[in-house]
Amino acid sequence: MGATITEKIFSGKCQRDIRAGSVVMAPVDGAMIHDITGPLAIQKFYEMGGVHVFDPKLIIMLFDHQIPADSIEAAKNHVYMRKFAAEQDIHNYDICEGVCHQIVMEKGHAAPGEIIVGADSHTCMYGAAGAFATGIGSTDMGFVLKFGALYFRVPESIRAEVNGTFQHRVGAKDLILSIAADLGADGATYKAIEFCGKTIRLLGMPGRMTCCNMAIEMGAKTGIIAPDKVTWDYMAKRRAGIRPFALASDPDAEYAERRSYDVSRLEPQVATPHNVDQGVPVGKVAGTHIDQVFIGSCTNGRFEDFAEAAEVLGSKEFSDKVRVIIIPSSRNEYLKTLRAGLIEKFVTAGALVEAPSCGPCMGGAFGLLAPGEVSLSTSNRNFKGRQGSTEAFVYLCSPATAAASAITGEITDPREV
Amino acid sequence: MRGWKFGDNIDTDAIIPGRFLTIYDEKELAKHAFEGTRDDFSKLAQDGDVIVAGRNFGCGSSREHAPLALKGAGIRVILAQSFARIFFRNAINVGLLPLVCPDTDTMKDGSSIIVKEREGKVIVEGKEYPIEPVPEFMYNIVEAAGLVGYARQLKEAPVCTKSQR
């Protein structure tokens, strides 16, 4: 019986045949901490008797959730982490670079075949680089900082094969929202979701990141895509001297489940309150009044997402009844968007453009909703209270649907503007 | 002990909203547990109370503030039909016991609950229900008051590359 890509990554690390269901203490190739979960991880590292971290070069730190510090408490957490980074010689990107997952990807901190952990649930996004990447809590991270290893239960895999060509203004976000609606919020608990098929092969890295990012919304331990030319070209610009090698599931690998999706008739999707798996075709909620639109986050805050929104916007303006908040996911993506003239276009059309951060997705910093308000967001979670009041409503969608709706002031099919 | 009944897909944003994540003290976090979704919880929960939930308890964010807030409120055991992965690990790591119990649908809010985890059962209003067996290593971590106690005993991690076959 063949092996899945996930089993191969663990087998490679442990130098023996490892299969799904095994529990192994595996070394990690990278670890990421940010301003929300980092302070507790550092505290746990010390409580565990930690003196020096396992390898400062394999750890990255940055602040993205509450930046620039939105409270004295947040500022104190930042100071605590900066001190730790300086003492331990850890690279700290601080508040300047952007959202953690985007930074790990664009700075080349995750590569095919590696095991990467992050103290954030959307760490699963690095599966787009062919890494096994998973989110962990602060105590687990304290253990990793000390020992450079962690217990993993090697997950079974769900094979999600995607074929067909997207309709105009339909894309990766609509696909992953439809997969979430199909599998359910716990449909992949403790499993890896392996995305494959012609549609995935034709997706660029941004769309692949969007898909892997949301694997956690089905309970998955990770999302992963076997590396191909797209992946290796992306890596070549980020890791000097990296050489492609073969890494893919065997044709006779054992899967917990096999699903196939055809996107050729997929319509723009909207996840309705208050769960990510409550996705419906946009037509079912078209006309819903909205108060705020957020285009950004680790899920959809890249240049390509803003280009998609700008294409829908054309020469129109955003509705003056809607607050439109646009936040690039990193300094690099911000600059690309800026240099392409899109920032000027958004601001002219009435948007508020903020510096790279998690923004309203974090629900604790800024852009919060009052009771009864409705947000349409390109981020990844629409839980009750996620963006402010527990009596507010959050809908999730693609950048194209967000832009179309921001023009009309109500949820709108992007194919109709 | 009193059971606090919740439904399916209780996410970590509901357990502890994002605006309280600068707090790390479990007693302070407990004051905001379920704020806005179940306001009586933080006021009335007592030491030894039990959370009773449906499927996928603790989904969403990896914030360890969530199990800490529950622990700070006095919760020792969470009974649910299933748990989200990161929450499950975090709960054990901070010394909470997440127990899988298929029958939580039949349990009512406010029920009196006795947990006999070593005997593989819970007694709710005098009626017994089975719980799934708990692996011994989980007890070891919970009884060491979490992963920290376990880690303190280790000089180095028993990494798979070193312990062949």
B159 contacts on A by Cβ (under 8 Å): 25-27, 147, 149
Contact B20 A275 (CB under 8 A): no
Which residues belong to CATH 3.30.499.10 in chain A? 21-153, 155-242+255-266, 268-412
In a domain, B61, yes or no: yes
Residue numbers of the domain that contains B143:
3-152
- Give residue B155's pLDDT: 84
d(CA B24, CA A320): 40
Which of B14, B23, B146 has the CB atom closest to A385's CB atom?
A: B14
pLDDT of B47-61, one tens digit each?
A: 999 999 999 999 999
> Quick one: pLDDT band at residue B156, thresholds 50, 70, 90?
confident
Between CA A61 and CA A31 the distance in angstroms is: 9
Q: Considering only residues 95 to 134 of chain B, which have any Cβ-Cβ distance to chain A shorter than 8 Å? A: none
Judged by a CB distance cut-off of 8 A, whether residue B71 touches chain A is no
**Residues on chain B touching A66 (C-beta within 8 angstroms):** 22
Q: Please write the tens of the pLDDT for every residue from B102-146.
A: 999 999 999 999 999 999 999 999 999 999 988 776 777 777 767
Number of Cα atoms under 13 Å in the Cβ half of residue A249: 26
Instruction: Report the pLDDT value the prediction gives residue A264, as an integer from 0 to 100.
Output: 98
B59 interface with A at CB cutoff 8 Å: yes
Residue B99's domain is classified under what CATH number?
3.20.19.10
CATH superfamily, region A268-412: Aconitase, domain 3 (3.30.499.10)
pLDDT at B164 over 60: no
Which secondary-structure segment (H or E) carries B124?
strand B121-124
* Beta-sheet pairing, B113-116 with A323-327: unpaired
> What are B92-102's pLDDT values in tens digits?
999 899 999 99
Instruction: Quote the CATH superfamily of domain A155-242+255-266.
Output: Aconitase, domain 3 (3.30.499.10)
Reported pTM: 0.95
Whether residues A362 and B148 touch (CB distance < 8 A) is answered with no
Q: Could you report the predicted ipTM of this complex, rounded to two decimals?
A: 0.92
Instruction: Compute CA A194 distance to the chain's CA centroid, rounded to the nearest angstrom.
Output: 16
* Residue of chain B nearest A142, judged by CA positions: B148
Yes or no, beta carbons of B148 and A149 under 8 Å apart: no
Nearest-5° Cα angle at A357, A289 to A353: 55
Selecting from A121, A143, A391 the residue whose C-beta is nearest the C-beta of B86 gives A121
Compute CA distances A349 → A61, A249, A320, A353, whole Å.
35, 47, 9, 11
> What's the rounded mean pLDDT across residues A191-202?
98
Q: Quick: pLDDT tens for A202-259.
A: 999 999 999 999 999 999 999 999 999 999 999 999 999 999 999 999 999 999 999 9
pLDDT at residue B55 in the model? 97
- Nearest residue of A to residue B151, measured between CA atoms: A48
Q: Is the pLDDT of residue B165 over 60?
A: no
> To the nearest whole percent, how much of chain B has pLDDT over 70?
96
Residue B143 pLDDT: 74
Nearest residue on chain A to B147, alpha-carbon basis? A139
For chain B, how many structural domains are there in total? 1
Residue B36 lies in a domain: yes
Compute how many other C-beta atoms are within 10 angstroms of the C-beta atom of residue B39.
12
B161 CB near a chain A CB, below 8 Å? Answer: yes
> Any idea which fold A21-153 has?
Aconitase; domain 3 (3.30.499)
User: B157 lies in a domain?
Assistant: no
Predicted confidence at residue B162, as pLDDT, reads 61
Inter-chain touch A381–B13, beta carbons under 8 Å: yes
